[in-house]
Amino acid sequence: MHFKNIFLHLKLITKHRWLVFKLCCKAGEPWRGFVHDLSKYSPTEFFEGIKYFEGSHSPNVEARKVQGYSKAWLHHKGRNKHHEEYWVDIRGDNPTPVIPYKYVVEMICDKLAAGMAYKKKDFTYQYELDYWNKEKKILQVNEKTEKFITKVFTDIVENGIDKTLNKTNLKELYKKYCE
């Protein structure tokens, strides 16, 4: 483990949380932004993050390559409701329910902020839409939730983040696609 990875990983996750906070404030959900990803500072997530830190993508990817799984991810997804995996219950009557509004908005902000943090100056809203369109094919997510997220990312590309990522607009879109 490289000593400098401690600081680099801490800097990256803190920057990511700051970006999510700013986006959540813009979307009218400041509390979700404030409490976003606090579990990343827990020993289970933080130490694996340091060990597998690369800087250009999630350390969970590297952990999976080496170990076959990521202990940090298993810990993280079970504690953070803004991840679609949190809502999957394969034994339930509805294995993928519609994700509640405040968590799906946080999810959108999280995905945007992750792209911004990892892609840096190469980040574009089109990149995020393209990434989502590939990612959604392998995710277990409710069809209504998936359509809502796709619409938001598409609208961000077409109309800009300020027009799209505001509470009034997001609530209207959520009602249209998820209720």
70 vs 60: CA distance, rounded Å = 5
CB 109, CB 23: distance < 8 Å: yes
Q: What is the pLDDT of residue 92?
A: 87
Per-residue pLDDT for 70 more than 70? yes
Per-residue pLDDT for 1 more than 70? no
Q: Considering only CA atoms, which of 51, 67, 48 is closest in space to residue 5?
A: 51
Averaged pLDDT for residues 113-142 = 95
Q: What is the pLDDT of residue 57?
A: 87
Averaged pLDDT for residues 112-141 = 95
Q: Distance from CA of residue 111 to its chain's centroid? A: 4
CA distances from 134 to 30, 125, 129, 130, 139 (A): 29, 14, 9, 6, 10
Averaged pLDDT for residues 98-113 = 98
Q: What is the pLDDT of residue 66?
A: 95
User: Residue ranges of the domains in the chain?
Assistant: 3-178
52-66 confidence digits (pLDDT tens): 998 888 999 999 999
Averaged pLDDT for residues 146-154 = 98
Per-residue pLDDT for 122 more than 60? yes
Mean residue pLDDT of the chain comes to: 95
7-28 confidence digits (pLDDT tens): 999 999 999 999 999 999 999 9
Q: What is the pLDDT of residue 158?
A: 98
Per-residue pLDDT for 174 more than 70? yes
